[in-house]
């Protein structure tokens, strides 16, 4: 499949490929180089908290609070 680079340097991942790897709006991806190829990899987990908040449980509480907010 072919895609074009837009004026802002953005590339559209074709829907057939997004469906195969289950990518949705807002999902994270990593972009890197292998030899002379651009490689886009789906990120499946968010990075954890580090430092003094790593074991605080704060992230879980914030995500739980957000899940209960009206949309």
Predicted local distance difference test score (pLDDT) of residue 47 = 58
- pTM score: 0.54
Per-residue pLDDT tens digits of the chain, which is 71 residues long: 888 999 999 999 999 999 999 899 888 899 999 999 999 998 876 556 667 777 788 878 888 888 888 87
Nearest Cα neighbor of 50 from 58, 42, 39 is 58
Predicted local distance difference test score (pLDDT) of residue 37 = 94
39 Cβ contact partners less than 8 Å away, ≥ 6 residues apart: 31, 32, 33
Interatomic CA distance for residues 48 and 66, integer angstroms: 17
Predicted local distance difference test score (pLDDT) of residue 36 = 93
């Amino acid at each position: 499949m072919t895609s074009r680079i837009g004026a802002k340097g953005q590339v559209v991942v074709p829907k057939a490929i997004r469906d195969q790897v289950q990518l949705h709006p807002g999902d994270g991806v990593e972009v890197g180089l292998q030899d002379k190829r651009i490689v886009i990899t789906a990120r499946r987990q968010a990075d954890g908290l580090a430092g003094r908040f790593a074991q605080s449980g704060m992230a879980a509480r914030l995500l739980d609070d957000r899940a209960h907010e009206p949309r």
